[in-house]
Amino acid sequence: RRPTRTRSHVSESSGSSDKDDSVGHFHGSPGDLLSDSYVILRESGTGTFGRVFACRHRKTGQLVAIKVVRRIKKYTDSAHVEAEVLDKVNREDRDGRSLCVRYYGAFEYRGHMCLVFEQLAESLYDYGKALRHRPMPLYCVQSFAEQLLKSIAFMASIRLVHTDLKPENILLKVAGGFSKVHAPTMRRDGRRSLAPLSTEVRVIDFGGATFEDAHHSRIINTRQYRSPEVIIGASYNTSADMWSLACMLFELATGDLLFDPKSAAAEEYSRDEDHLAQFCELLGMIPRRFALSGKHSKEYFNRKGELRHIKDLNFWPVCDVLHDKYGWPKPVAKGFADFLQPMLAFNPERRATALEALDHPWLAEVDEWPPKGTPGHDAVSDDDDDDDDAEEEEEEDETGDDESGDDDGADDAAAALEDDDDDDDGGSSGSE
């Protein structure tokens, strides 16, 4: 019997990492120059690819983010591909409808490929951390969904597959941290949540992006957002991004990963087979014809299209998961499940396109928030609290709602939210 699934928020990258991640990095400090044009303000991010620096143009004063790629051939090659993809996006997107990060060009400095972008704010992963991986307000999820569908529709129109859509690669456009709001969420306790100053987002990280007619890598996507056609080694196209988006939206709305496969301790089955089993448990059995259509299908399926090593499946449809595990009212759970499931069709040819999903009524069903004519992100007032600790909570709001948008903003917001929850629960952990 397979172990009970757990949900972690440590994502597995689609690429392999070097044994020594310190090799080939550019080392820069505030005040240093990046070429003759830019001065470094601070380091704002790091990864296996290199480092990102917040910079200011010395003549114009423009604030930008510069991705300085590690001086290693495979990362430099990937950066050249990313630059070519972004040049194509810029040519096709004159009016900003792509919602992709604005790319300003590239240059080489001391052997490092440097890509220059508009400066953005926190990622949706940072937002989730600020919420301690609890549900986001539904109006936020709805807004993110609509924008990302428009972005995928644009990419599909130029036959571009992003290949790595996930919360880390979706950035808020407006900095300013997070503040407490009373907004519709599916938290069981119905208490206040955190919301960004603006829900406007941009898609970043085109290092793994590919055009449909180009050579495709076998493995794409971070594990938890990977589509079935990729796992079995079948061909993939822009519909793989739709699968990733559905996984991400479930995560934003519930605080949990939709799929988080594990490999068996005794190696009775692989992590890929467990991933396929989780698909079946949530979405029903994979059609035999599709199951056997990939180059690697025989590793996971017998000739009947049944999983080779995992026989004990615990079926739990999306709507029931939302209702039973997360306490969503049945009509709300059904509406969201109906929105997600066409994006989770096993066969990519039958999977909903971005344009089709944009017509789904769920995008119009979530109540508008904040209400027109009211401040959207004010501290919660006494009148909104029903418990006897309203005055004490109001004092905490005064110290917890002032988000500066600096690097510690997400942690500060999470701490404020935790303090608030402790008061609401009488000092208990308030676990869901």
Q: Which helix (H) or strand (E) holds 34?
A: strand 33-34
Query: Distance between alpha carbon 131 and the CA centroid of its chain, in Å?
Result: 14
Other CB atoms within 10 Å distance of the CB of residue 250: 23
Closest CA to 42 of 412, 411, 408, 407: 407
189 is catalytic: no
Closest CA to 136 of 209, 100, 186: 186
At 65 the three-state DSSP class reads strand
- Rounded CA separation 51/32 (Å): 14
Sheet containing strand 112-118, edge to edge, reads: 33-34, 38-47, 50-57, 63-69, 112-118, 103-109
For residue 47, which amino acid is it? G
Other CB atoms within 10 Å distance of the CB of residue 248: 25
> Choosing from 164, 241, 385, 412, which is the catalytic residue?
164
Give the bridge partners for 43, in sequence order: 53
Kindly write down the DSSP assignment for every residue of 131-171, as one continuous string.
TTSPPPPHHHHHHHHHHHHHHHHHHHHTTEE----SGGGEE
Q: Which helix (H) or strand (E) holds 253?
A: helix 239-254
Within 8 A by CB and 6+ apart from 52, the residues are 43, 44, 45, 46, 65, 66, 67, 68
The first and second tokens of residue 297, run together, are 């299908």
- Between vectors from CA 47 to CA 44 and to CA 50, what angle results, nearest 5°? 85
At 51 the three-state DSSP class reads strand
- The residue count of the chain comes to 432
Q: Which helix (H) or strand (E) holds 397?
A: helix 390-400
The C-alpha R_g of the chain, in whole angstroms, comes to: 22
Within 8 A by CB and 6+ apart from 166, the residues are 11, 125, 221, 222, 224, 225, 244, 248
Within 8 A by CB and 6+ apart from 133, the residues are 9, 255, 256
Instruction: Report, as residue numbers or ranges, the catalytic residues.
Output: 164
